Amino acid sequence: MSETPTTVVWFRDDLRISDNPALHEAVLRGDPIVCLYVLDDESPGIRPIGGASRWWLHHSLESLAESLKAVGLTLTLRRGPAREVVTALVGDVGATRVLWNRRYGEVERGIDGDLKSSLREAGVEADSFQGSLLAEPWTVLTGQGGWYKVFSPFYRAVMARQTPRHPLPAPTVGDGLHHRTVATDALADWHLLPTSPTPDWAGGLRERWRPGETGAAERLDTFLTERVSHYVAEHDLPAEEGTSMLSPHLRWGEMSPFQFWHALDGHRARASADAEGAAAVLRQLIWREFSYHLLYHLPSITTQNMREEFDRFPWVDPSPAELERWQQGDTGIPLVDAGMRELWQTGIMHNRVRMVVASFLVKNLRVDWRVGEAWFWDTLVDADPAANALNWQWVAGSGPDAAPYFRVFNPELQASKFDKHGSYVNRYVPEAGTPAYPEPMVDLKESRRAALDAYASIRG
């Protein structure tokens, strides 16, 4: 054991130094600090992150390392099953304390819980903090003590609580921090970036995004100064940058929901469109909380239909070529293709269009929602285990409080309402309407009818 008391701060979905309760606590104690990130794609049950997420993570870790360096700390990288890796590092440096911010997935909680017990048994202090959710799932319960299965009452319950705590400051050079130097992996050796230069699918990602805490703060600033007042009018228009675009930053914890909440709350107090916009975004932020609430109370949401009757649904197994047409944006339905190409090129897709492409897959093509969820998992930079599953189940009709199955989005109608001038479709599918563009892969009316017949067969 080392003579020097040492704190390990284990970073996970909280790649930031401001409003980071675990780091804040370590700074208060004043012992030397080891900042650790573990790439864990080996623990049993852990779902490896997808390609776009790997790209994001690489850059986010670079950014975190820079922020830490600026205040006198270094980032240590290790790879392997998290429990074993953290235990070994604690032994190597003779750490006396390990701190982290909580996560809410079942497998992750299992790892963290086991680790906490074994560290404490070994005489090492181990503590966890609330950093990634405003309302931890076990603290929001119905009058009967159960958990919420429907969004609106959950939203009301969260809003009726005390104002969330104010964000914590980032450490500064003045805190006189010192770090312990520990052997670290080289980030490049993790090969998180695409290895083959062609096709360079990350080009669009580089253009669109700046992963990391500074990029997140800039986006929040732009949103609040330029866009929040248009949010109510424009959030449903995919051609506009009408929403915050903060989802990947929230997913990776480069900005905490507490920071977002308080930034919005300041605007809620104002008159007019700013206040309306801020209140509407805040409601969306509570959807994020709701998805984690469900993930915690019903972990099977990521893989199982919440409504059991959907276990009998006659899904169609698509051929690889058919599936590829949807994935690559070659269905012959312009709005669907625009969305799928936006996703492939930029790692993101507008929420309205996500609903349309998902509905097209699970209803017009009658493909199991899990197939679509997996594609989104691989290609979205905001791929999030809770929000992705909840939203896919919502569109499929198999989730709680979901859009009823018989609500089949009509992509043509959606385009005429939300992309009136065709600017969004034109941006991604310029050949739509020309002979170069394929015929629709299914007839929208017929496939809708077939979907409703299939649904009728599982009811009752």
Which residues here bind ligand FAD, judged by CB under 6 A? 235, 243-247, 250-251, 281, 284-285, 287-288, 291, 351, 354-355, 358, 376, 380, 382-384, 387-388, 391-392, 395
User: CB of 351: closest distance to ligand FAD in angstroms?
Assistant: 3
Q: Kindly tell me which of 6 and 327 has the beta carbon lying closer to ligand FAD.
A: 327
Instruction: Say if residues 187 and 61 touch (Cβ distance below 8 Å).
Output: yes
Cα separation, 290 vs 296, whole angstroms? 10
User: CB of 391: closest distance to ligand FAD in angstroms?
Assistant: 3
Q: Kindly tell me which of 107 and 403 has the beta carbon lying closer to ligand FAD.
A: 403
Token representation of residue 345: 């090129």
Q: What is the largest CA-CA distance in the chain?
A: 75
Q: Kindly tell me which of 20 and 243 has the beta carbon lying closer to ligand FAD.
A: 243
User: CB of 394: closest distance to ligand FAD in angstroms?
Assistant: 7
Cα separation, 29 vs 127, whole angstroms? 13
Instruction: Say if residues 235 and 283 touch (Cβ distance below 8 Å).
Output: no
Q: Kindly tell me which of 80 and 299 has the beta carbon lying closer to ligand FAD.
A: 299
User: CB of 388: closest distance to ligand FAD in angstroms?
Assistant: 3
User: CB of 392: closest distance to ligand FAD in angstroms?
Assistant: 5
Instruction: Say if residues 85 and 78 touch (Cβ distance below 8 Å).
Output: yes
User: CB of 214: closest distance to ligand FAD in angstroms?
Assistant: 17
Q: Kindly tell me which of 85 and 220 has the beta carbon lying closer to ligand FAD.
A: 220
User: CB of 45: closest distance to ligand FAD in angstroms?
Assistant: 19
User: CB of 194: closest distance to ligand FAD in angstroms?
Assistant: 20
Q: Kindly tell me which of 114 and 218 has the beta carbon lying closer to ligand FAD.
A: 218
User: CB of 43: closest distance to ligand FAD in angstroms?
Assistant: 21
Q: Kindly tell me which of 56 and 392 has the beta carbon lying closer to ligand FAD.
A: 392
Q: Kindly tell me which of 10 and 231 has the beta carbon lying closer to ligand FAD.
A: 231
Q: Kindly tell me which of 287 and 437 has the beta carbon lying closer to ligand FAD.
A: 287
Cis peptide before 153 (omega within 30 of 0): no
